[in-house]
Structure 1
Amino acid sequence: MLAGWIGGLLTLYGLMPHEVQQTVLAILGGRWGDVSLAAAGGFIVWAFTQWRSYRATVKPQIVTEDGKQAEFRELPEGTANAVEQFAQTAILRRGETIVEKLLKLKLGR
């Protein structure tokens, strides 16, 4: 698990712009005096946008009839149950995925 975390952090570091990498190295090295206010602000903005992008990706969202996004927990009880049943039915009725087809072909099932 530790190797996974380290690998993830190194990947994240590799995806950072060069200026942000230099800011992170200065902060981790304890050279706070070398970090300009603009670089620190850029790092904060970059980190905030990455966090918002992650949250938007993993947060379950539902679009209501009036076109607004709502979280699953915000829906009324009856609506939430109907949406959950609809989602389960859609998953059961979907066709085979590409991975399932390849596994079936490779394993001869």
Structure 2
Amino acid sequence: MNWIKYSRSATIICIALGLLAGYLILLFSNPAQAGNGFRAILSGGFIGGNRRIGDVFYYATPLLMVGLGVAVGFKTGAFNIGGPRQFVIGGYFAMLTAHTLQVPRPLSWLIPLVAAAAAAAL
């Protein structure tokens, strides 16, 4: 099983299994529309112009940020399952300090960082 860590084929297999699992869920939940739903999933961000591609990046960015944060934690040996909470708390404090409190720029970066770190410590 050690070859799975470093293999491109393992990535492709995981993507294919994830797509298969999604299709099976669609098939069991609504068999009549499973094919249309699966096509919409595969082509959803690419058909409809720049607006749709922008929406994909808009919705994927928080997931990517949390995933990268958790990956860094796992790589260093830390166990962290509070990534989404830290992301939300950091975002809240960023908006609070930048727009509501209107603190200077260095503090508007530091305060959300400290708040997210405090959320991680809880």
Q: Please indicate, yes or no, whether the TM-score normalized by the shorter chain is above 0.5.
A: no
TM-score bracket, normalised by the shorter chain, equals: 0.3 to 0.5
Larger Rg: 1
**Bigger relative contact order, structure 1 or 2, given CA contacts below 8 A and separation 6+?**
2
TM-score by length of 2: 0.31
TM-score by length of 1: 0.34
